[in-house]
Amino acid sequence: MVKKIIVTGGSGMVGMSLKDIILDKNIWLFLSSKDCDLTKIDAVDSLFNKEKPDYVIHLAANVGGLFKNMRERTAMFRDNVRINENILEACNNHGVQRGIFCLSSCIFPYKPSKYPMDESMIHESEPHPSNEGYGYSKRMMEMQCRNYNEQFGREYICIIPVNLYGPYDNFNLNDSHVIPGLIHRFYNAKKNNTDLEMYGSGTPLRQFVHSYDIAEIIMKILNEYKETKPIICCNDEITIKDLTYLVGKLSDYDTNKITSDTSKSDGCLRKSVDGNYFNEIFSDFKYRSLEEGIKQTIEWFNENYDKCRK
């Protein structure tokens, strides 16, 4: 019988989405950075000794969008390697047999041998230079999960979602990912009756998954998945230009007032991944459409503007 499930990053977007959908909240402990400094091994060990979790869902990370990844690349690597190592070591030392560890599609090579990329290609070549620090830190966690599984017989499972968005996201104009950043910028442009600049050429392709979809997937993997192979969770591709116009339309903004700033970096032009493995295992699962998910996120942002992260 499961007595306790710890969720790191419990106050973040996926953690809060997970909290919204679970039924038996008594066995779940959602941790935030206020509860424990995960970069400190003694603090993590003390936490595990006190709480004695049966399962761990590791979502915590120093995370941000393209421009934060470029601006703070050393901290992105340092902090995430420390956090991931501390959590894995504590899991193993305290007998946690099964856990889910959240990676990112940023780990994949930026010059792959083929598109879309699959789970076998994580370490094929280097990640894109724009997110090198974050990408390598997440790659190392995949390697360590695999090592713990092989050496100690653990069941540490890595999930690899593409770009996540949804309620509880970080809408900060400097450090957010693309969808929450666009939602906030369109909010301001509409309020101030100004034009909106699309950053870059608009040609890069991206894939997106709603945070509630990932929360539901985590539950399915925790309870139903019988393997330890990493598993990609993804939806269809869209260009940044089409995404920008979609967010603008759903924000009820005059899209004729959208311009472009091609001096801004495009980042990686394509990092498309293959969700066939997930689809074979969970053939009954249906992702939300991008339009439905963005509409819901805009509504949440408008309703929670005064208290959301921005």
Catalytic residues: 134
Name the token pair of 127: 């990640």
Task: Using alpha carbons, list the distances in angstroms from residue 143 to 32, 152, 247, 287.
Answer: 25, 14, 37, 28
Residue 226's region, left for phi above 0, alpha for psi from -120 to 50, else beta, is: alpha
Residue indicated by tokens 């921005």:
310
- Alpha-carbon gap, residue 211 to 106, rounded angstroms: 17
CB 139 within 8 A of CB 80: no
d(CA 45, CA 86): 8
Rounded to an integer, what distance in angstroms lies between the CA atom of residue 310 and that of residue 304?
11
Element at 239 (helix H, strand E): strand 237-239
- Distance linking the first and last C-alpha atoms of the chain: 40
Q: Sign of torsion, CA 156 139 232 210?
A: positive
